[in-house]
Chains A and B, each alone.
Chain A
Amino acid sequence: MPRSAADRYDLLTIILHWLIAALIAGLLVLGFVMTRSSIDPALSFSLFQWHKSFGMLALLLAAVRLLHSWLVVRVKPTDGMGHAEHLAARSMHHVLLLLAVAVPLAGWLIASVSPLEIPTFAFNTIVIPHLPVPKSDAAEAWWTTVHAVLAYSTLALVLLHSLAALHHHYHRHDGVLARMFPRRHRSAETSIRELKP
């Protein structure tokens, strides 16, 4: 595949970006709620299973997105962005791409090292095998911490990333946010802006 830089993102990237964003947002809320000790134990159990199901889906999509992004996608820097700015944005994007894989991977490791051996039965349809790792309470505690730290760090970075995108859109009026939407939506946005004096 030719790797000539485009000025917009391809449809696959756009779809994966927003799907994964929605999944991560939902999983953060679900992960936080289900681990509160005040919650009913039966509800907690079932929320854990939903968390694992959507988490595995997020892992699958994030792995595809990471490979696609590294092997296929090349976009030009937006006009008007300085070198340092461009570098910061690219680093942030790489870190987020990696975290989107690392967070669910750490989650999968919690399920895999847990001596409780609770199966991951994604959407009550597919049994996802545990990773072949030794099981112990200590390993479970360790991966639980890693998963939580990575997840909440992702939340912090996602907030920064979103603020930057909104800043580009509302203050700089450049195409940074718009090019993460399909073309029709983008031209509509642009034409609305162009109508303004």
Chain B
Amino acid sequence: MTQKSVLLATLLLSAAFPAVGRSAVEVPSLSAAAGRYAITPKSNIGFAVDQVGGGGIKGRFGKFSGTFNLKAGDLAHSIVNFELQPESVSTGQDRVDAFLRSGAVFDTSHFEKITFRSERVEQTGPDSAHVSGTLTAKGHSSPESFDVKLTSFGDRSIAFNVSGKIFRSRYSMDVGTPIYSNVVQFDMMIEGQRD
């Protein structure tokens, strides 16, 4: 679909449902998008931690999996389950990766997985939502939430931009503060493939 027709469709949609408002992509009706999706390896789990004086550490996780279930009449009870293997972290610096895997941060030899289970989904706009749930890492669980924005929607696939800020200190990973920020900024592209 061309830019123009997306725009047109968006305009038509917003004209038909004024509450829907403006959006960058064609917003599917919830019933069209409803269903169970598996998160594909094409997704990108990126993060960044700022450091004093500018710059910081940027990285991504290569191994992860998950599912989400969009419920047509009941978006609030849609469910997202996600887990990643911290072992698969990469920052472009082997020494930094080794430090992140060590007991100082992820302690991957004792904690193989970091998981997120959603508890509530709140729609915040025509193509956006706020997902709250529980993040478990290094033996600590804490409520966290992410902002989700629809970026593309096809026949069998759907993609979102997911962003959120996590305080490392909640998971006893606050080594290196205040040189490195306590806040980890997640910027993820999550692509789902319909089951």
Interface residues of A (CB under 8 A from B): 40-42, 45-46, 49, 115-119, 121, 124, 127, 129
Contact = CB atoms under 8 A, between A and B. Distances in A.
A88 to B, nearest CB: 44
A119 B53 contact: yes
A124 B178 contact: yes
A121 B52 contact: yes
Given A40-B104, A124-B179, 16 more contacts: A40-B103, A41-B99, A41-B102, A41-B104, A42-B103, A45-B99, A45-B104, A45-B175, A115-B93, A116-B96, A117-B55, A118-B51, A119-B53, A121-B52, A121-B53, A121-B178
Given A40-B103, A42-B103, A45-B104, A129 B179 contact: no
Contacts, number: 37
B93 A116 contact: yes
Contacts of A124: 178-179
A129 B95 contact: no
A118 B96 CA distance: 10
Given A40-B103, A42-B104, A119 B93 contact: no
**Size range of the chain B interface in the assembly:** 10 to 19
A25 B93 CA distance: 33
B138 to A, nearest CB: 12
A129 B93 CA distance: 21
5 contacts: A118-B51, A119-B52, A119-B53, A127-B52, A129-B53
Contacts of A119: 51-53, 179
B41 interface: no
B120 to A, nearest CB: 34
A121 B176 CA distance: 11
B95 A49 contact: no
Nearest to B99: A41
B104 A127 contact: no
Top 4 closest pairs, chain A to chain B, by CB: A42-B104, A41-B104, A127-B53, A41-B102
Interface in B128-162: none
Contacts of A121: 52-53, 178-179
Interface in B91-109: 93, 95-96, 99, 102-104
B94 to A, nearest CB: 10
A73 to B, nearest CB: 37
A62 B99 CA distance: 33
A121 B93 CA distance: 21
Given A116-B93, A116-B95, A121-B52, A41 B179 contact: no
Contacts of A115: 93
A45 B105 CA distance: 12
Nearest to A114: B95
Contacts of B96: 116
Interface string B46-66: 000001110100000000000
A115 B178 CA distance: 20
A42 B102 CA distance: 9
Interface in B154-177: 175-176
Contacts of A116: 93, 95-96
A127 B54 CA distance: 10
A118 B93 contact: no
Contacts of A45: 99, 104, 175-176
Contacts of B104: 40-42, 45
Nearest to B93: A116
A138 to B, nearest CB: 14
Contacts of B176: 45
B48 to A, nearest CB: 14
A127 B102 CA distance: 27
